[in-house]
Amino acid sequence: IAGNFRNLPMTWRQVGSGEYENISFETREYKGEYLHIITPAGALTREDRLPVYQATLDLTRSDSYLCMLDNRKGQELSLTGEDIVYFADILADHGIRRVIYAVVTNDPGYGNIIKLIKAIAETKNIAMHAMSTTKFDEAEEFFLAEIEKLAAEK
């Protein structure tokens, strides 16, 4: 994962990482915000995702949760509306009020999942900024721009 950040400013600082069944993550800090880059290595269930949510929420130091799902390898990702509600509740219970999310995938259908995620987040009073792209660079730029906006609000 570290090689993916070659174009990012030197101010990114790695603050955590972990590997679990079929999933790994790396967390980087920039301007007080924590970006969690999650990479699936196989099909993911709710149970596979849960320890990553717990570990990344433990690292998060603000009411914003920044998460990139790097699925350039095209793993099968099953995510139901019920799963999204479950994780939205976990985020809300941890005091998260804003989620910034990007998925890097070649799956054109993921746009519909993002619409569902946004609708559910709204019901939990969580502001949601999300996008889907086929290019890792575009996701990086999205997060840098969102972090700059957050820094300007402080």
Tell whether the model's pLDDT for residue 51 goes beyond 90: yes
Q: Mean of the per-residue pLDDT values for the chain?
A: 90
**To which residue do tokens 């957050």 refer?**
150
pLDDT at 147: 94
Taking residues 23-41, what's their average pLDDT? 95
Tell whether the model's pLDDT for residue 7 goes beyond 80: no
Helix (H, G, I), strand (E, B) or coil at 74: coil
> Each residue of 67-114: pLDDT tens digit?
999 999 988 777 889 999 999 999 999 999 999 999 999 988 888 889
How far is the C-alpha of 55 from the C-alpha of 80, rounded, in Å? 22
28 falls in which pLDDT band (50, 70, 90)? very high
- Residues linked to residue 67 through DSSP beta bridges, in sequence order: 36, 101
Tell whether the model's pLDDT for residue 2 goes beyond 80: no
pLDDT at 111: 87
Tell whether the model's pLDDT for residue 115 goes beyond 50: yes
Helices (H) and strands (E) in the chain, counts: 4, 6
Taking residues 124-143, what's their average pLDDT? 94
Q: Quick check: pTM over 0.95?
A: no
For β-strands 13-20 and 33-40, DSSP reports them as unpaired
